[in-house]
């Protein structure tokens, strides 16, 4: 399976065009993120064909950012789905990586994965394997129909489940800050669970403005099943309406937060 | 440049969450939860997410310590074992077996935990056995 991708990665590594290629590997019965440095182990390359759709995705772009920052100047390759490509663009727009150093091999997601992720764009610009699955309208969010007070109650009930594992931040490709507000004692009280309501989650939501590429890894990593994507989506819907901007869609466009501009017209 | 993800099991409690330690050029620098592990399915608690920090931590003990005149002092294994054995004997004789308790560890193997349990019950004669994950 996936001969075209394996052949291309073999070529990239044999010619030295890339120092390493980030993808997934089937190993010990598990699927894991892996940096291929030689074509010898390419047979174990996996697209993530595990038992559930979630097995197919790891924060490869986050690992790439770390590698590029520790080994600057060296070219790397990466296997990218639609979400990964959006993350790569957004990371470049935020000056975290240089795309000149990155060779992207695209893969379009299977229908099963695209539906499981409720993905709005389950393919990159170009792909070597997979087929173009057209996104369906996103599943309706149950809160939308409720009154603001009912919504507040529902969100508080969700936030109260938080065990403050920081998994949403740790897994997020766009959480690249050296210092994190969620660790600042001015914002978040140390040693308390659940974290300050609703400050903890709203601070993170605000920081997702112009950054979140809606990959959904945060929600998959959340032990309390808090619907984080709905929250970040809502924040970025406002950004899109006001500034016509979605992170990671245009090649190098910077987020509205980068620009000094006239304030938007009153809502 | 050498980057590896190493499959292992979280040592902080008895759940047994699966995770990958990210190792860059010989240093454990990060943790990624395993999505294919049936226990944790890609999730971790705050301790698990930070487990890479203790692996090569400079404050990790590498030699036994004995408190001498109120100060913890590095010693040899022979000295530490002799001291522990003689003090355990004295305490047991003076105050009875149940004056002693054993704290095992989630960071060692099942077999090692079995040995400390066996030592507590068979050699010292107490059921006072517990483990660090309940501290």
d(CA A55, CA B132): 32
| Mean pLDDT, residues B6-13 taken together | 91
Residue B129 in any domain: the answer is: yes
Residues A66, A171, single domain; the answer is no
**A220 DSSP 8-state letter:** H
- The chain-wide mean pLDDT, for chain B, equals 93
Is residue A126's pLDDT more than 70? yes
Q: Do A94 and A152 lie in a common domain?
A: no
Q: Same domain for A110 and A162? A: no
Do B70 and B130 lie in one domain? The reply is yes
User: If you ran DSSP here, which 8-state letter would residue A55 be given?
Assistant: G
Chain A interface residues (partner B, CB cutoff 8 A):
19-20, 27-35, 50-51, 54-55, 57-59, 63, 66-67, 70-71, 74, 163-167, 170-171, 220-223
Q: Are residues B35 and B10 in the same domain?
A: yes
Residues in chain A: 267
Contact A32/B42, CB-based, under 8 Å?
no
Asked if residue A248 and residue A201 are part of one domain, the reply reads: yes
Q: What distance in Å separates residue B5's CA from the closest CA in chain A? A: 6
**For residue B35, what is the nearest residue in chain A, using CA coordinates?**
A55
pTM for the model: 0.88
Task: Tell me the average pLDDT across A2-24.
Answer: 95
- Domain span at residue B85 reads 65-134
Tell me whether residue B123 is in a domain. Answer: yes
Mean pLDDT value across chain A: 90
Instruction: Please identify, among B17, B36, B55, the residue that sits at the C-terminal boundary of a domain.
Output: B55
Asked whether residue B109 falls in the same domain as residue B86, the answer is yes
CATH of the domain at B44: 2.20.25.90
Q: CA B76 to CA A156: how far, in whole Å?
A: 55
Confirm whether A267 is domain-assigned. Answer: no
Contact partners, residue B127, CB within 8 Å, separation at least 6: B120, B121
pLDDT of residue A50: 58
Residue B128 burial (CB count, 10 A)? 14
| Minimum CA–CA partner of A217 in chain B | B42
Most confident of A25-34, A227-236, B84-93: B84-93
pLDDT of residue B15: 85
Q: Is the pLDDT of residue A138 over 90?
A: no
Q: Is A132 inside a domain boundary?
A: no
In a domain, A123, yes or no: no
Residues A234-253 have a mean pLDDT of: 86
CB B99 within 8 A of CB B91: yes
A74 and A151 share one domain: no
Same domain? B45 vs B77: no
Asked whether the predicted pLDDT for residue A25 surpasses 90, the reply is yes
**Does residue A68 sit in the same domain as residue A7?**
yes
Question: Could you give phi then psi for residue A242, rounded to 5 degrees?
Answer: -80, -40
**Do residue B89 and residue B49 come from a single domain?**
no
* Residue B60 belongs to a domain: no
The answer to whether the CB atoms of B1 and A71 lie below 8 A apart is yes
CA of B39: which chain A residue's CA is closest?
A223
pLDDT over 70 (residue A266): no
Q: Which residues of A touch B5 (CB under 8 A)?
A: 32-34
- Are both B72 and B44 inside the same structural domain? no
Whole-angstrom distance, CA of residue B30 vs CA of residue B23 = 7
* Same domain as A158, residue A99: no
Q: Best of A223, A225, A226 to disrupt the B interface by mutation (most B CBs within 10 Å)?
A: A223
Cα–Cα distance between B9 and B33 in angstroms, integer? 10
Q: Predicted confidence band at A51 (pLDDT cuts at 50, 70, 90)?
A: low
In sequence order, the β-bridge partners of residue B4 are B23
Residues 6+ apart with CB under 8 A from A125: A85, A106
Of the residues A101, A117, A133, which one is the last residue of a structural domain? A117
Indicate if A228 and A190 belong to the same structural domain: yes
Residue A73 domain flag: yes
| Enclosing domain of residue A34 | 3-117
Q: For residues B130 and B69, state if they share a domain.
A: yes
Angle subtended at Cα A145 by Cα A141 and Cα A148, rounded to the nearest 5 degrees: 105
Shared-domain flag, residues B50 and B83: no
A30/B18 Cβ within 8 A: yes
Same domain, B69 and B51: no
Of the candidates B33, B55, B77, which is a domain's last residue? B55
User: What is the domain count for chain A?
Assistant: 2
Q: What is the mean pLDDT of residues A115-142?
A: 86
Does some domain include residue A218? yes
How far is Cα A84 from Cα A103, in angstroms, rounded to an integer? 13
Q: Does some domain include residue A106?
A: yes
Nearest chain B Cα to A31, which residue? B36
Size of interface A-B (CB pairs under 8 A): 79
Q: How far is B114 from chain A (nearest CA, A)?
A: 27
Given a contact cutoff of 8 angstroms between Cβ atoms, the answer to whether A93 and A252 are in contact is yes
Kindly list the residues from chain B whose CB atom is less than 8 angstroms away from the CB atom of residue A70: 1, 24-25
In a domain, B90, yes or no: yes
Residue A59 with chain B: CB contacts under 8 Å: 32
* Residues A162 and A78 placed together within one structural domain of the fold: no
**Same structural domain, A149 and A106:** no
Domain membership flag for residue B49: yes
pLDDT at A263: 57
Could you tell me if residue B77 is inside a domain?
A: yes
State pLDDT tens for residues B38-90.
999 999 999 999 999 999 999 999 999 999 999 999 999 999 999 999 999 99
Neighboring chain B residues of A30 at a CB cutoff of 8 Å: 7, 18, 34, 36-37
Q: What are A174-192's pLDDT values in tens digits?
A: 999 999 999 999 889 998 9
Query: What are the tens digits of pLDDT across the range A93-124?
Result: 988 999 998 999 999 999 888 888 889 999 99
What the block records as the tokens of B132 is: 């660090």
pLDDT tier at A23, thresholds 50, 70, 90 = very high
Please choose, from the candidates B47, B79, B46, B73, the residue with its C-alpha nearest in 3D space to the C-alpha of residue B61.
B73
Residue A28 has a pLDDT of 85
- Is there a contact between A33 and B5 if contact means CB atoms under 8 Å apart? yes
**Is there a single domain that holds both residue B46 and residue B95?**
no
Place of tokens 């995705």: A57
**Across B94-113, average pLDDT:** 90
Of A46-60, A146-160, A185-199, B97-111, the poorest mean pLDDT is in A46-60
Interface test with A, best of B2, B30, B36 (most A CBs within 10 A): B36
Could you tell me if A133 and A122 are in contact, meaning their C-beta atoms sit under 8 angstroms apart? Answer: yes
Same domain, A90 and A18: yes
Residues A248 and A185 both lie in one domain: yes
| 8 A C-beta contact, residue B30 and residue B52 | yes
- Whether A58 sits inside 8 A of B36 (CB atoms) is no
Q: What is the pLDDT of residue B41?
A: 94
Domain count, chain B: 2
Asked whether residue B130 is domain-assigned, the answer is: yes
- Is pLDDT larger for residue B13 or for residue B50? B50
Determine the Cα–Cα distance for residues B8 and A258; give it in Å rounded to an integer: 41
Q: What is the pLDDT of residue A250?
A: 80
Predicted pLDDT of residue B36:
92
Task: Average the pLDDT over each of A62-76, A131-145, A231-245, B67-81 and give the range with the smallest value.
Answer: A131-145
CB contact under 8 A, B32 and A31: no
CA–CA gap between residue A15 and residue A13 (Å, rounded): 6
Whether residue B99 lies inside any domain: the answer is yes
Instruction: Give me the interface pTM, i.e. the ipTM.
Output: 0.91
């Amino acid at each position: 399976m996936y001969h075209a991708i394996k052949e291309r990665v073999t070529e990239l590594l044999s010619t030295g065009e890339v120092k390493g290629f980030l993808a997934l590997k089937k190993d010990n019965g598990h699927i894991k993120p892996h940096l291929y440095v030689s074509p010898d182990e390419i047979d174990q390359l996996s697209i993530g064909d595990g038992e559930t759709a979630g097995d197919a995705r790891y924060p490869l772009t986050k690992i790439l950012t770390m590698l590029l920052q520790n080994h600057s100047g060296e070219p790397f390759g990466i296997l990218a789905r639609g979400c990964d490509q959006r993350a790569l663009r957004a990371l470049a727009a935020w000056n975290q990586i240089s795309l000149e150093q990155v060779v992207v091999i695209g893969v379009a997601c299977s229908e099963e994965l695209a539906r499981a992720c409720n993905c709005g764009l389950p393919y990159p610009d170009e792909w070597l394997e997979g087929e173009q699955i057209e996104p369906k309208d996103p599943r309706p969010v149950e809160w939308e129909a409720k009154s603001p007070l009912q919504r507040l109650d529902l969100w508080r009930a969700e936030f109260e489940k938080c065990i403050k594992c920081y998994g949403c931040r740790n897994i997020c490709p766009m959480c690249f800050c050296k210092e994190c507000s969620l660790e600042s004692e001015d914002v978040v009280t140390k040693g308390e669970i659940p974290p300050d309501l609703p400050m903890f989650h709203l601070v993170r939501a605000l920081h997702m403005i112009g950054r979140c590429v809606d990959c959904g890894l945060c929600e998959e990593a959340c032990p309390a099943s808090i619907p984080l994507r709905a929250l970040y989506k809502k924040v970025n819907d406002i950004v899109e309406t006001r500034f016509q901007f979605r992170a990671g869609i245009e090649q190098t466009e910077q987020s509205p937060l980068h620009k000094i501009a006239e304030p938007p017209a009153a809502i | 440049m050498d980057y590896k993800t190493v499959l292992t099991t979280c040592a902080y409690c008895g759940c047994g969450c699966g995770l990958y330690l990210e190792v860059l050029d010989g240093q454990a620098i990060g943790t990624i939860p395993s999505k294919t592990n049936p226990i944790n399915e890609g999730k971790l608690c705050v301790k698990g997410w930070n487990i890479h920090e203790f692996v090569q931590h400079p404050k990790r003990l590498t030699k036994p310590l004995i408190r001498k005149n109120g100060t913890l002092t590095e010693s040899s294994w022979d000295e530490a074992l002799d001291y522990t054995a003689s003090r355990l004997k004295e305490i047991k004789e003076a105050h009875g077996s149940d004056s002693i308790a054993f704290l095992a560890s989630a960071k060692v193997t099942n077999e090692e935990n079995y040995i400390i349990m066996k030592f507590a019950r068979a050699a010292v004669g107490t059921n006072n056995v517990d483990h660090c994950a309940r501290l």
